[in-house]
Amino acid sequence: MSFSYNIQNSSKIELLKKRYPDNRALILPLLWLAQKQESYIREDAMEHISEIVQLPYMNIYSVATFYSMFRLEKTKKRIVEVCRTLSCELNGSEDIKKHLDDNYSDNFEIIEVECMGACSGAPMCTLDGKYIENLTPQMIDEVLNAN
Ligand code: FES
């Protein structure tokens, strides 16, 4: 079955079209909605977005592959994204990543990402998209073992 947005996301897209009259500005929010809906961005979702914004498929593909926060493959594991940008790095994200890799890589997909805009809570990560800030290895153990 080819990709289409669900009713809720279709409504959001109509609002987004009014907010962003330049179709190129719609690419990022449409990719986000596609990923949120399916947990990753399917190839036919990019084709669908290409039709909505009336731009070549390659434009959509290049945006989707440029940003590390977009996933183009489905994973069965739950996803932990660890920020590795300056504020988080200065506050210990490297130790956090090592702790995650050493203890949780069998059950979670651990991904390094760039700044997620929560620098005041550095170091931070996300678990299935939910922000977890001011991380310590002990806090990770509590959160991941509880989920
Ligand atoms: S540097 Fe990590 S959230 Fe900004």
- Ligand 1 atom closest to 122 (CA): 2
- Judged by DSSP in three states, 112 sits in strand
Task: Give residue 59's pLDDT.
Answer: 97
**Which stretch, 30-34, 74-78, 127-131, has highest mean pLDDT?**
30-34
Model confidence, pTM: 0.72
Compute how many other C-beta atoms are within 10 angstroms of the C-beta atom of residue 25. 13
**Which residue among 82, 87, 96, 111 has the greatest number of ligand 1 atoms within 8 angstroms of its CB, and so is best to mutate?**
87
CA-to-CA distance for 118 and 27, rounded, in angstroms? 23
pLDDT confidence bin for 6, thresholds 50/70/90: very high
**Which residue among 90, 115, 131, 133 has the greatest number of ligand 1 atoms within 8 angstroms of its CB, and so is best to mutate?**
115
pLDDT tens profile 128-139: 889 999 999 999
Cα-flanking dihedrals φ and ψ of residue 29, to 5°? -60, -35
- Ligand 1 atom closest to 123 (CA): 2
Domains in the chain, CATH or no CATH each: 7-66 (1.10.10.1590), 78-146 (3.40.30.10)
- Ligand 1 atom closest to 88 (CA): 2
HSE, side-chain direction, 13 A CA sphere, residue 141: 6
Q: What is the whole-number distance in angstroms between the Cα of residue 121 and the centre of ligand 1?
A: 8
CA-to-CA distance for 65 and 69, rounded, in angstroms? 9
Residues with CB under 6 A from ligand 1: 83, 85-88, 115-119, 122, 124
